[in-house]
Amino acid sequence: MVTDIEQATPRSRVYVMDMNSYDYTPAEAYGDLVMLRAEHLAPGIALDDSWNAGIVTSLRKQLLDYRPMTDYLIPTGKPLKIVLISMLAVERGSRHRILAWDQKYYRYIQHIVDLLKPDRGELNEKAFEKSFEVKVDARSRKGPG
């Protein structure tokens, strides 16, 4: 039996930034999949860049229901689209839940990114670095030769 509280609480959504030939079904453990669709961006050399403006408008509409810290983002696809969609997501808030694929365990791992300190609105570099701790092998830091 479903209670009123369960009906009132919408299920999280998982926004896949660019569809590839990957199987995203493991991400369904976090919520309903939403595939963001957009044409390829054109180099913006003209003053009237209506092609790219249309792509931004389309993506912004697709993200209207995106709820930071309730929904998830999966950064996949072309780097330019990842950057653009991330910029649009930040318009909705400064804290986000990002899913990254773990090759070792074959599952998605949640990362929480908080870009702003709540007290002063400054970049919170410590929170960002803590969310994306990267272990670097000392051998990989060596320069060429």
Contact 63, 89 (CB under 8 A): yes
Domain total of the chain = 1
- 87 SS3 class: helix
Residue positions counted in the chain:
145
β-pair partners for 110: 99
Q: What CA–CA distance (Å, rounded) separates 142 from 91?
A: 39
Is 35 inside any structural domain?
yes
Structural element, H or E, at residue 103: none
Is 36 inside any structural domain?
yes
Ranked by mean pLDDT, which of 5-14, 60-69, 131-140 comes out on top?
60-69
Is 104 inside any structural domain?
no
Is 69 inside any structural domain?
yes
Q: Which domain holds residue 73?
A: 4-42+49-98
- 33 SS3 class: strand
Is 68 inside any structural domain?
yes
Q: How confident is the model at residue 21 (pLDDT cuts 50, 70, 90)?
A: confident
Per-residue pLDDT tens for 35-94? 999 888 888 666 667 888 899 999 999 999 999 999 999 999 889 999 999 999 999 999
Is 33 inside any structural domain?
yes
